[in-house]
């Protein structure tokens, strides 16, 4: 059976699959991934402890897009940060990229922020060395705020990186 993917909150049982999905999505697969951080960031993107902290944390959730109930094709972290919601860790299985999975996850994240957190603004942080990713978020309606945030120097392979803060007003 191959049912359409459905969005649901991640559970602790999903943690090992999320670690694999997120690290594979961020590392990229040659010839498949356009979202790779390879050459920019040192080491794995996330650990199981990090995933569990986000799943069990009181201020947010990881939303997963799953096919046939358990096969994860993508995920996104949402967090209530007071005046706005934050969206991070957007990860899509390299085999599912260019199939609108990322767009579906963003819509789900925005809906969660608007309705579960009752916030009217969402923010994303994009590595400054990723102009193609920033352009993708801008096509989704996000705009640069003029703010930046430092990138952890011990994780960076490319010097001088920072995060560019983008925001969107939610309907």
DSSP labels, 136-147: HHHHTT-EEEEE
| Separation CA 152–CA 161 (nearest Å) | 9
Tens of pLDDT, residue by residue over 15-35, are 999 999 998 888 866 555 556
**What's the whole-model pTM score?**
0.88
Q: Which of 150, 158, 91 is nearest to 125 (CA)?
A: 150
90 within 8 A of 133, measured Cβ to Cβ:
no
- Token output for 104: 């579906």
Question: Which tens digits make up the pLDDT trace of 101-155?
Answer: 999 999 999 999 999 999 999 999 998 888 899 999 999 999 999 999 988 777 6
Residues in the chain: 171
User: Tens digit of pLDDT for each residue in 79-93?
Assistant: 999 999 999 999 998
Second-level CATH architecture of 6-122: 3-Layer(aba) Sandwich (3.40)
């Amino acid at each position: 059976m191959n049912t359409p993917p459905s969005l649901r909150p991640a559970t602790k049982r999903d943690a090992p699959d999320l670690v694999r999905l997120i690290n594979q999505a961020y590392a990229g697969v040659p010839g498949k991934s356009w979202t790779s951080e390879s050459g920019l960031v040192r080491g794995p993107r996330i650990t199981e402890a990090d995933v569990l902290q986000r799943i069990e944390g009181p201020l947010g959730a990881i939303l997963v897009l799953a096919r046939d109930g358990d096969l994860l094709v993508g995920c996104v972290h949402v967090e209530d940060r007071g005046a706005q919601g934050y969206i991070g860790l957007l990860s899509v299985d390299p085999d599912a990229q260019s199939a609108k999975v990322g767009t579906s996850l963003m819509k789900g994240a925005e809906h969660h922020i608007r309705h579960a957190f009752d916030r009217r603004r969402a923010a994303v942080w994009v590595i400054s060395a990723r102009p193609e990713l920033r352009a993708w978020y801008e096509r989704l309606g996000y705009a640069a705020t003029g703010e930046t945030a430092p990138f952890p120097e011990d994780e960076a392979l490319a010097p001088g990186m920072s995060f560019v803060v983008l925001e969107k007003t939610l309907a």
